[in-house]
Structure 1
């Protein structure tokens, strides 16, 4: 069994004792600290780790589990009840007279494709109906109780699973309710999620449910990168020997976590520190009061970690840096960040206490082989220190990231035109009923929605239909008492009408005939608006441009509005008009996307004046798109119009709309009225 490694290859799964050591991770100071703060006080609310691929996010999270103190559990309890304070509502209870045992803290991984039953557990409805018992099979939430629940690529998890997960994390309990039968059990765990923002963002309300967030990136320092590779190669050569070399540092970390947990109840949050916390949260205009609570809990945990008996200004500063950046986002195009100068000003303004040593009287962090050690919150003023407002650099197992460069160059004729301000587009839907990924756009068959019927099955039981199916056979099955005799073939599951997300693929003419800045501003503003709308409705959006001699897939189909906005901003114009190349590229992109996700229905939006000054006639290319619902936005201007865009629309079987009509309203509103071609067999198959 193998899994993707942080460097893009595969890393064999190693035994529990041979995980990559936490203390051997190079750099990653803020991420280490955020994880350790939650290990000291799980009430902080978990950690969301944002960063590019290959930065060892998974490695460091898995390494944390080996540092957590062992837990005492009731022997035989599937829900890991504490023998000193068993859950009175435990489905395996009551726990009286049971033996206790110790076991290591668990790290439970939630796969992106997991079902709701796998997460929360499942009820045996057949036994509930026939025997009147609550036969419950625990899920991953029960397995993670008093341990760590890790969700890799949490941004790709379906929204309803994220809601269930974060609700359980917030309440410390999981509820499973199906057709009037309910089971409750404790579910307190350290929640850690990792994500690559390029693959799509989490909704702001979900971001807010994570206690802390850390932005990570691979280090650009050659010496640090060399040390990352060196340690990784040593670990792969002999995991046991490498783990043994770091055993003392791991033991010291584990002991410090245990000591900080013991110290935590005695840490004082003074009125002065609390005023600083609330002043900071008010100054940064975060919504609600969750930020204040999380910052307070994190500051208390930091004080315990550093051996202090009261929360200091430095604890508040560090807690705010970790708890507030992701709560300040007002727009999905905004990247998380925090103005550290403003933070210092607010703290100084509300600091009425004498200065304290930044490290308190806690134990000094021990060093390890190769310069490892424990994270410190002291500010690093070296020239190479990562800024709290930018992704921190580091890595643990050979992770790497793409480099980049910036700077303004000389002004060119094809310099990208700015976009008009984004606006709220009207809702558009794709015709028919799909079966795509859950979203908020078009009508679809979905596990979450209004019940419209029933079919054979046992997931999401339709109780009335099940009873109707079983009723005619009661005499033949020998029913004699008040109970109902139900067989497996009687079970019916609900058919629900919900909403799905769609793929909106833009094909935009960026040639010289479209280079008029006001025209491109309007086009970019419309696309930007749909990107924002797609983020809110869980759509995927792609962008193809054609200019010169070829067409370019500027934005591969994605749900990341940040990536889309960046690509759109840099879109240049000029040159000839290879319309055919743009249509052929669209056909290829849609073909690949159908293979990747056959159930996601596409909508093609072609923005052009219809001219084709380079390449063959577009008629053959248009024929390849005959099974796709389309819209053609006619950008032709001037007193004399050739009607080339309308001709293209006829070949595509598309709605044709003039650009000036878009400027007054919304591109999404035009798409809503899209007409489909007379014969769309592939489109009907998706319905």
Structure 2
């Protein structure tokens, strides 16, 4: 077994001065009910090393020899499907660290029928999964943001309930599954959904130190470990032993710790002040504050305990939409902690002091039921209500810098564009913001793929409805088809019952049709012909809505823009949709329209991604009004580039950004050349399209809405 890098050496500090990552990991081992830790950070910041080293400093546990479910001999309510056990079978072993691979299947996580024994002897026996192995230990998921959502839900549910129930393949098993869940992730590779973020008890953001002295110290320690692993571990053994003793003592002290009414009301006041959803944050903060107190040898929760609990439990619960970055305002936190919490509720039957004639009961006073009354006809005050429409907001409106035009007026941005093929002078780019995203139409790739599980296009996948069977043993067993294959080589009928003879060639696994994730590559026209304020706002809102849809469907996304005289890949294909949204928000508009360069840049990106992952099917979304004004023979070159893209055979959608009563229809012509679906920018909105259909049917005038292409199979 390889020597593990010491936990204390990763942190590089004493137990009394843990960094946020070390503190979060220690607190959740003291009180596993906190709900686990999510460690977010850039690559190369020792996230995985720290988690793997944590198991070595945890106190050993008592188990029964031969118990695959690690039931606790000291817990009278603990049960094991392998039990009962004799007291003589009791032994002590180190805590396990169980790693869950990103590509694990549901059967491997939950456990399933022991296939070999079922086929060889006909016995129905349960083979425990990773949840059973991780009971009373650590379950570690590296790159948890790349784990399929249904597996993350399954893990978090088991961590919250403390039990795992398996009802499948003719078996029914329930066992304890209390473990410390630790996930690590690099945000550049994609985010977890806010709903899943909220299920982790604590989260920490880490980054490599920028101080050269600290960086050199980290490198020095690592090189010493690589040179003499055993000696390095022995050098840190006293600190590791001290950590183990302190964790064990803190666990014992936790049963005596007390959270008084004032501390509980302060926690509630902090959570309410940060407007977190639900009550999970309050519960996690209370448990974390208690763990922090006992870690420091106290049984009473202090202001500092609550502050540290808020810094660990609230940042990831502040997100209001998938593109918000986790974070917490420490100044606001200190302000909330310094305020006196509301008085505790009176005991039952005590109505409290008479408030009918006392101070503060007048009509001009402000009560807990709302703002103070104001003179009739005066405008409502917004000074004390940050949620009111007139209140000052800390986030400026992204379109404040754009000039205002009255209806019927024409701004400089709405000036007529030059005719196709004519040159337009380059103009300085201006940034125009998007409106609030909406629910877009579902754009899919034609055919049936074999990509990774997702939510966009049809595919042969691990999950979904069963559509057939194929030979093999890698997958979910299709018992009926296996028996059918075996029936062909059975001997003559016997007078009594006999065992079915099965060969390895008889095995059949289920073929399932589900949904896959795709590469959604956006190729966005940011030229002057698209720079009209209303038009660019529509375009950015449509792209932002499609990005949000790609985020929910676990797609990979890329962003290409073209303006002036060239095209650029602003975001190579990645799972980090948040970065694409930021690049889109900062995208300036203006200049000529190098349409050919944009299409050729998209071709190069698609060809590279096809080599990297042949199973990842792309969906190209070209957002343009179809005008080509970049350079000599711009129109002819754009048509040639469209032919190059068409020969790739990828599913393509052209989102037409042209607006106004007089339209040239160039984007529609481009779509025909590409063999693509053509959508007006206002047709991307699924709600608007549904309303148009409903209005048409309601009028009964026979008017029709243009049918969607095969690639658009419905609303999201």
TM-score by length of 2: 0.77
2:581 equivalent to 1:565: yes
Partner of 1:32: 22
Shift of the alpha carbon at 1:299?
A: 1.4
| 3-state SS, counterpart of residue 253 of structure 2 | helix
| Post-superposition CA distance 1:281-332 (Å, at most 9, x none) | 3333333332222222111111110111122232222112211221222211
Sort the Cα spacing of 1:219 and 1:517 in 2 relative to 1 into closer, same or farther, 3 A.
Answer: farther
Shift of the alpha carbon at 1:156?
A: 0.6
2:655 equivalent to 1:633: yes
Sort the Cα spacing of 1:210 and 1:637 in 2 relative to 1 into closer, same or farther, 3 A.
Answer: closer
2:602 equivalent to 1:581: no
Partner of 1:16: 4
| 3-state SS, counterpart of residue 646 of structure 1 | helix
Rounded to whole Å, the distance in 2 between the matches of 1:277 and 1:521 is 42
Sort the Cα spacing of 1:345 and 1:64 in 2 relative to 1 into closer, same or farther, 3 A.
Answer: same
2:196 equivalent to 1:206: yes
| Post-superposition CA distance 1:224-264 (Å, at most 9, x none) | 33333333333333333333333322222221111111111
Partner of 1:523: 539
Partner of 1:656: 678
Rounded to whole Å, the distance in 2 between the matches of 1:18 and 1:304 is 24
Partner of 1:154: 144
Rounded to whole Å, the distance in 2 between the matches of 1:229 and 1:631 is 50
Note if contact 2:643-2:674 (Cα within 8 Å) is conserved in structure 1: yes
Sort the Cα spacing of 1:475 and 1:178 in 2 relative to 1 into closer, same or farther, 3 A.
Answer: farther
| Post-superposition CA distance 1:384-433 (Å, at most 9, x none) | xxxxxxxxxxxxxxxxxxxxxxxxxx999313222232122133333322
Note if contact 2:440-2:684 (Cα within 8 Å) is conserved in structure 1: no
Partner of 1:121: 111
| More displaced stretch, 281-290 vs 581-590 | 281-290
2:639 equivalent to 1:623: no
| Post-superposition CA distance 1:542-574 (Å, at most 9, x none) | 210112332111122233232111111121233
Q: How do 1:54-453 residues align onto structure 2 when only pairs under 5 Å count?
A: 54-85=44-75, 89-125=79-115, 127-128=117-118, 131=121, 133-351=123-341, 413-453=428-468
Partner of 1:599: 615
| Post-superposition CA distance 1:485-542 (Å, at most 9, x none) | 6655554433323222222211112223333333222211111111111112222222
| Post-superposition CA distance 1:67-122 (Å, at most 9, x none) | 11122222233333333348864233221244233222222222222233333334
| 3-state SS, counterpart of residue 199 of structure 2 | coil
Sort the Cα spacing of 1:233 and 1:488 in 2 relative to 1 into closer, same or farther, 3 A.
Answer: closer
Which fold has the larger relative contact order, with Cα–Cα distance below 8 Å and residues 6 or more apart in sequence? 1
Shift of the alpha carbon at 1:155?
A: 0.1
- RMSD, matched Cα: 3.3
Partner of 2:708: 673
| 3-state SS, counterpart of residue 624 of structure 1 | helix
| 3-state SS, counterpart of residue 105 of structure 1 | coil
Note if contact 1:25-1:60 (Cα within 8 Å) is conserved in structure 2: no
Rounded to whole Å, the distance in 1 between the matches of 2:542 and 2:325 is 21
2:556 equivalent to 1:540: yes
Sort the Cα spacing of 1:523 and 1:665 in 2 relative to 1 into closer, same or farther, 3 A.
Answer: farther
Aligned pairs, number: 608
Shift of the alpha carbon at 1:449?
A: 1.8
Sort the Cα spacing of 1:671 and 1:455 in 2 relative to 1 into closer, same or farther, 3 A.
Answer: farther
Rounded to whole Å, the distance in 1 between the matches of 2:707 and 2:65 is 59
Rounded to whole Å, the distance in 1 between the matches of 2:204 and 2:495 is 61
Rounded to whole Å, the distance in 2 between the matches of 1:134 and 1:615 is 74
Sort the Cα spacing of 1:602 and 1:482 in 2 relative to 1 into closer, same or farther, 3 A.
Answer: same
Note if contact 2:440-2:685 (Cα within 8 Å) is conserved in structure 1: no
Note if contact 1:200-1:561 (Cα within 8 Å) is conserved in structure 2: yes
Rounded to whole Å, the distance in 2 between the matches of 1:671 and 1:559 is 33
Rounded to whole Å, the distance in 2 between the matches of 1:588 and 1:142 is 47
Rounded to whole Å, the distance in 1 between the matches of 2:281 and 2:180 is 18
| More displaced stretch, 70-79 vs 667-676 | 667-676
2:43 equivalent to 1:53: yes
| 3-state SS, counterpart of residue 520 of structure 1 | helix
Note if contact 1:522-1:663 (Cα within 8 Å) is conserved in structure 2: no
Shift of the alpha carbon at 1:642?
A: 5.0
Rounded to whole Å, the distance in 1 between the matches of 2:313 and 2:583 is 29
Task: Identify unmatched segments of 5+ residues in structure 1.
Answer: 1-12, 354-409, 677-687
Q: How do 1:502-517 residues align onto structure 2 when only pairs under 5 Å count?
A: 502-517=518-533
Shift of the alpha carbon at 1:666?
A: 6.9
| Post-superposition CA distance 1:662-686 (Å, at most 9, x none) | 589779999993468xxxxxxxxxx
| Post-superposition CA distance 1:649-674 (Å, at most 9, x none) | 22211223344655897799999934
2:630 equivalent to 1:613: yes
Rounded to whole Å, the distance in 2 between the matches of 1:599 and 1:479 is 52
Rounded to whole Å, the distance in 2 between the matches of 1:334 and 1:267 is 36
Q: How do 1:439-478 residues align onto structure 2 when only pairs under 5 Å count?
A: 439-457=454-472, 459-466=475-482, 476=492, 478=494
Shift of the alpha carbon at 1:350?
A: 4.5
| 3-state SS, counterpart of residue 577 of structure 1 | coil
Rounded to whole Å, the distance in 1 between the matches of 2:266 and 2:495 is 70
Note if contact 2:254-2:290 (Cα within 8 Å) is conserved in structure 1: yes
Sort the Cα spacing of 1:419 and 1:483 in 2 relative to 1 into closer, same or farther, 3 A.
Answer: same
Note if contact 1:580-1:618 (Cα within 8 Å) is conserved in structure 2: yes
Rounded to whole Å, the distance in 2 between the matches of 1:158 and 1:443 is 17
Higher Cα radius of gyration: 2
Rounded to whole Å, the distance in 2 between the matches of 1:600 and 1:177 is 33
Task: Identify unmatched segments of 5+ residues in structure 2.
Answer: 344-400, 403-426, 693-704, 712-716
Note if contact 2:71-2:79 (Cα within 8 Å) is conserved in structure 1: no
TM-score by length of 1: 0.80
Note if contact 1:81-1:87 (Cα within 8 Å) is conserved in structure 2: no
